[in-house]
Amino acid sequence: MTLIYTIDILGTFAFAISGALVASDKKFDLFGVLIIAFVTAVGGGMLRDILINAHPINWICDLNYLWTIFLAVFLTFLFKSKIAYLSKTLFLFDTIGISVFTLLGLQKGLSFDLHPLIALIMGMISAVFGEMC
């Protein structure tokens, strides 16, 4: 397991918790929470991969992304009462996810020989488009 892969999984976990917290606060059922956590966690990277024609899209071929999202949702449901009182928790997970996915998206754009400015935009897309749900 490489460092970049580990960071990617951790970023996925952080964004999934962020999405699960928001969906849970809005009183979504378990299926709704899973969908919002999924889109928040992998939506930006999936859009980036589609834009730069990077196939296969990583979560389709690697079930660790899905297991990570399921684990994040499960832990959010288990410990929601504990973390609900921490007002900065959502901000913390958003910050971790945004920073990780910006760097990973930039790195992936550069690995596809994109112009550095375009690679930077791909990093921003990776970081924020999942969060827009």
The Cα 45–Cα 133 span in angstroms is: 14
Mean pLDDT of all residues in the chain? 88
Domains held by the chain: number? 1
Residue 50 sits in which domain range? 3-132
Q: What is the average per-residue pLDDT within 65-91?
A: 83
Q: What is the average per-residue pLDDT within 90-99?
A: 78
Burial per residue of 113-126, b for 16 or more beta-carbon CB atoms within 10 angstroms, e otherwise: ebeeeebbbbbbbb
The Cα 18–Cα 128 span in angstroms is: 13
Query: 105 falls in which pLDDT band (50, 70, 90)?
Result: very high
Residue showing tokens 């999942």? 130
What ranges make up the beta strands (E) of the chain? none
pLDDT at 99: 86
pLDDT at 72: 93
